[in-house]
């Protein structure tokens, strides 16, 4: 099992993206395993998505719900997924996080519509 696959079983993962000037921006989030990597969803206009578009360089580490790291960070690459990826990641979140995951996905869809979120895939 790879380090990224292990992170897929964590409840929270700290994703760190990087601004153009190199400053790190950490964000705790839910992730699901996606092949040999990770997947997560985010709001279409979020800052992390803009930073990923600029540079796919990220680090990921296990963390608690407040974003305090509980393990070593791993260098990785993130890319924006297509609509099929969004469906797959959304189904994974519903399965992994149960009722809370389903309610979160439903609330997001009601607030933002079908095109209001995107999937992001993290690989090494």
- Residue-wise pLDDT tens digits, 22-38: 999 999 999 999 988 99
pLDDT of 108 > 90? The answer is no
Tokens of 17: 């993206």
Q: Is the pTM of this model over 0.85?
A: yes
Q: Which domains does the chain have, with CATH numbers?
A: 3-123 (2.30.110.10)
The secondary structure of 20-84, three-state, reads CCCCEEEEEECCEEECCEEEEEEECCCHHHHHHHHCCEEEEEEECCCCCECCCCEEEEEEECCHH
- Of 122, 118, 120, 121, nearest to 43 by C-alpha is 118
């Amino acid at each position: 099992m790879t380090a990224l696959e292990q992170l897929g079983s964590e409840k929270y993962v700290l994703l760190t993206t990087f601004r153009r000037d190199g400053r790190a921006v950490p964000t705790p989030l839910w992730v699901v395993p996606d092949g040999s990597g990770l997947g997560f969803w985010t709001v279409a206009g979020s800052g992390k998505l803009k930073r990923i578009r600029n540079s796919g360089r990220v680090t990921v580490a296990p963390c608690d719900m407040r974003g305090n790291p509980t393990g070593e960070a791993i260098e990785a690459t993130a890319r924006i997924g297509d609509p099929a990826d969004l469906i797959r990641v959304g189904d994974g979140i519903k399965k992994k996080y149960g009722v809370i995951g389903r309610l979160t996905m439903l609330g997001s869809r009601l607030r933002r519509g079908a095109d209001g979120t995107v999937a992001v895939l993290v690989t090494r």
